[in-house]
């Protein structure tokens, strides 16, 4: 790994010093560094690149920030075999698990091929309007169909592999990956699923019928959701960052992407240890 990309949450107060240290340290280790435009401006570097141009140029992406920053970078990777190292700037950080104190030791181990790669399932979502695809996006965490800003329920028809499942009335639904099972889906009552499990999590949001419960479905399933509400205003969002306004009779199709994302974990850490730490298990 000789070409390293860095994308930082540039408006965070701790971002500048850690990026400066990273650039200096990587230079001392004969690594070529590629910064996005905002990160380059943050440290006064002479050149930066638009974010989408960086993944094809590098062997490793370092994301400095929180889980939201990492999610946005994961969508940029698309089908490229570029691993991501997430460096946490102090938030909850299920994905950006490496702390500032650990980053340089972790990088040394990565460059010695001692890092632990985690392959994570992504989903691809497409919206069809009158049979024509109008939007498509990848997600590492989840695709969420929600009622929008108005305080009223929406109605959805859900099928899995073209088999009718349910007519859902409520605030919406979440289709999450195992990675996303500890995000919005968990807050809505969904189960925690180990990322090594090839599965998807279907979680209703405040369903009108209380027997509509979260279910875990096979990772190779295709979910079709049809908007049967007659009112406008519902939304579909991808990783909570990219949104699209839905219309009556729109169909959202969600399935596992053809490629996976590789996150690099510090060798001394494991998934269950991270759960204990982040969710405060055993404390009380």
Can you say whether the dihedral through the CA atoms of 136, 247, 249, 144 is positive or negative? positive
Say if strands 163-170 and 154-160 run parallel, antiparallel, or are unpaired.
antiparallel
- With b meaning 16 or more CB within 10 Å and e meaning fewer, what string describes 265-276? bbeeeeeeebee
Question: Is the four-CA dihedral 65, 6, 69, 107 of positive or negative sign?
Answer: negative
| Helices and strands (H and E) in the chain: how many | 6, 16
Q: CATH number for the 3-115+266-279 domain, one of 3.30.930.10, 3.40.50.10330, 3.40.190.10, 3.40.50.2000?
A: 3.40.50.10330
Considering 36, 67, 118, 142, which one is annotated as catalytic?
67
Where along the chain do its domains lie? 3-115+266-279, 122-258
User: What is the C-alpha to C-alpha distance for residues 70 and 58, in angstroms, rounded to an integer?
Assistant: 16
pLDDT score, position 132: 96
In which residue ranges of the chain is pLDDT below 50?
A: none
Predicted model pTM: 0.89
Beta bridge partners of 133: 128
| Neighbouring C-beta atoms of residue 102, cutoff 10 Å | 16
Q: What is the pLDDT of residue 151?
A: 66
| pLDDT tens readout for residues 99-122 | 888 889 889 988 988 777 889 999
pLDDT of residue 92: 66
Q: Do 3-115+266-279 and 122-258 show the same overall fold?
A: no
Candidate CATH numbers 3.10.310.10, 3.10.20.310, 2.60.200.30, 2.40.50.140; the one for domain 122-258: 2.60.200.30
Q: Reply yes or no on whether 249 is catalytic.
A: no
Return the residue matching tokens 């970078």.
73
Q: pLDDT, tens digit, for every residue of 188-205?
A: 999 999 999 999 999 999
The predicted pLDDT at position 80 comes to 87
pLDDT number for residue 127: 97
């Amino acid at each position: 790994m000789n070409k390293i990309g860095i994308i930082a949450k540039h408006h965070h107060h701790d971002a500048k010093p850690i990026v400066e240290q990273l650039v200096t340290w990587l230079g001392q280790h004969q690594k070529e560094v590629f910064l996005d435009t905002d990160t380059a401006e943050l440290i006064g570097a002479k050149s930066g690149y638009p974010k989408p141009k960086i993944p094809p140029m590098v062997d490793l992406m370092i994301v400095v920030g929180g889980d939201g920053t990492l999610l946005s970078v994961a969508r940029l990777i698309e089908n490229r075999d570029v691993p991501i190292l997430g460096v946490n700037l102090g938030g909850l950080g299920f994905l950006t698990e490496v702390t500032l104190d650990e980053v340089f030791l972790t990088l040394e181990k990565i460059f010695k091929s001692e890092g632990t790669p985690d392959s994570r399932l992504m989903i691809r979502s497409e919206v069809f309007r009158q049979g024509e695809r109008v939007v498509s996006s990848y997600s590492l965490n989840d695709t969420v169909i929600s009622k929008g800003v108005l305080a009223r329920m929406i109605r959805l028809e859900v099928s899995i592999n073209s088999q009718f499942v349910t007519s859902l009335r409520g605030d919406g639904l979440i289709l999450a990956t195992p990675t996303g099972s500890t995000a919005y889906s968990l807050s809505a009552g969904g189960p925690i699923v180990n990322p090594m499990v090839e599965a998807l999590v279907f979680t209703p949001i405040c369903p009108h019928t209380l027997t509509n419960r979260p279910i875990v479905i096979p990772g190779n399933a295709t979910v079709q959701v049809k908007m049967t509400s007659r009112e406008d205003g519902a939304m579909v969002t991808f990783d909570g960052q990219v949104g699209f306004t839905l219309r009556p009779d729109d169909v959202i199709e969600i399935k596992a992407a053809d490629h996976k994302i590789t996150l690099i974990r510090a060798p001394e850490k494991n998934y269950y240890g991270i759960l204990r730490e982040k969710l405060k298990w055993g404390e009380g």
